[in-house]
Structure 1
Amino acid sequence: MSKTLISLFLVIAFALVVACVDVTPEELKAILTNVPKAKVTNYAQYMNDAMDEGDIDTCCEIAAFIAQVGHESGDLNWFVEFASGSAYEGRKDLGNTVKGDGVRYKGRGPIQITGRANYRAAGKALGVDLENNPLLAQEPVIGFKTAVWFWNTRSLNKYADCSQANFDIITKRINGGFNGKADRDAKFAKAKKVLKC
């Protein structure tokens, strides 16, 4: 067998080992123990579909994504920011230039995209008019897609290698700091264990 064929075989074998299959509802419930039982099957499907479309497909990428989304949404229990959004009023860095934009474009979805500019960009990428219909972002089928959009526009897959140092970079890029670090880290460790990363 030539060296080229051996190299190709090793690359394919490695890809098969590293790639994960879809997360089952049972695995999702084992990682995010407080996910609503009645919704876990649908949530697993929406999440898998969004991750597949967004090329979040290695075990470490999936584990990191679930851990971060799980923390941000309280184990997929809330898809709307608790605060009114008034703190974002007039924030030009978020594209909030029209009176009422802060409340209208407050955080929604499992990663809770925020601001008119993010709603516009995510909607354009997904082919959904989120700017004129911001409440769609809190619907799980769209929300998981906005979370993957956010993840990919921040190039977070390149840090999702199962190392704690790089997971901390992901946390900082999502949160702007390290709020909820202990919970994020615990979810990441559990996800790696359940998914056998």
Structure 2
Amino acid sequence: MLLQQGSTGNEVKRLQARLGVNNTGNFGPITDKKVKEWQSQNGLSANGIVDDMMWAKLFPLHGLNGGNVRASDFRYEKLRGLIPDGVINQLPDTAARFNINNVYRLAHFLAQCGHESGRFKVVDENLNYSADRLKVVFPGIFEGGLAEIYARKPEKIASRAYANKIGNGDEASGDGYRFRGRGYIQLTGRGNYKKFAGYIGEDTELNPDVVASKYPLASAAFFFSSRNIWDICDGGDSQAVIVQVTKKVNAKLLGLQDRINHFNQYYNLLK
């Protein structure tokens, strides 16, 4: 391992995420400054060069070369009482299938799922909005008296709100409701259901309800893969990394403190 100013690639992205720098993958002057600051604070020569020794200090759970953990080796039993047994039972297969190969990835993934699903209780999008709430959640879509007409009618709300986007047909098609958010991180839209079907090997486009009943965890892991979130997770356990992961899940950073609390709780048990 040897990274320095001018280096590029995924390892630079991981380094930047760990140091709280925008992870562009390009090792420039800002990254160089952060590396030197970190080296000074941790008893290393502040030369701006990331060698094996510094990498091992930055990522102690990964080893010198980012060594992986087998899915069967995570201490899942530590999570019992915090996470439903049904979810824990799915974790080994999900971890193996989606390359969740270190504690950072697992803790970040569970933290986001735990928040988004109300501690793994919600697997189907709640669309029973009042008129006032419709205007907040879907700005510009239910204006001019439409909010009052659509209020408390989940099927009509979803059909309009998600029409002609994410692979859905128009409002009349009903795709918006048929392919509403399901799973622990709300897989949404015909296009995403179709992609997930191709990955998981079951026709979730034809039978979308199985995303909630059979694949709530796998669909969430698919979301992490499709949004390239795993590399950000590799950045470590800092709050800056939690913020970066959260931005990929919820751009407005809603519920950030709860996500931080979830992460710290799971990470401290798993590490």
Give the structure 2 partner of residue 61 of structure 1.
105
On the 8 A contact 1:105/1:114 being kept in 2, the answer is: yes
Counterpart CA distance in 2 for 1:28 and 1:66 is 13
Q: What RMSD in Å do the two structures reach over aligned CA positions?
A: 2.4
4+ residue runs over 6 A deviation: 15-18
Give the structure 2 partner of residue 145 of structure 1.
218
Matched, 1:19 2:74: no
Give the structure 2 partner of residue 3 of structure 1.
none
Matched, 1:74 2:147: no
Give the structure 1 partner of residue 165 of structure 2.
93
1:138 to 1:159, Cα distance in 2 relative to 1, 3 A: same
Counterpart AA for 1:96: N
Counterpart CA distance in 2 for 1:174 and 1:138 is 18
* Runs (5+) with no aligned partner, structure 1: 1-6
Q: Deviations over 1:51-87 (max 9, x none)?
A: 2210012011100000001111111111111113624
1:13 to 1:169, Cα distance in 2 relative to 1, 3 A: closer
Q: Deviations over 1:109-137 (max 9, x none)?
A: 11111111111111111111111100000
More helix by share: 1
Give the structure 2 partner of residue 178 of structure 1.
253
| % same residue | 28
User: Would you say how many aligned residue pairs link Structure 1 and Structure 2?
Assistant: 178
Counterpart CA distance in 2 for 1:50 and 1:60 is 15
* Runs (5+) with no aligned partner, structure 2: 1-51, 57-61, 128-153
1:188 to 1:152, Cα distance in 2 relative to 1, 3 A: same
Give the structure 1 partner of residue 201 of structure 2.
127
How far did 1:26 drift? Answer: 4.0
1:19 to 1:163, Cα distance in 2 relative to 1, 3 A: farther
Matched, 1:192 2:267: yes
Counterpart CA distance in 1 for 2:166 and 2:66 is 40
How far did 1:93 drift? Answer: 2.9
On the 8 A contact 2:115/2:258 being kept in 1, the answer is: yes
On the 8 A contact 1:19/1:57 being kept in 2, the answer is: yes
Q: Deviations over 1:93-114 (max 9, x none)?
A: 3111142111111110111111
TM-score of the superposition, structure 2-length normalised? Answer: 0.60
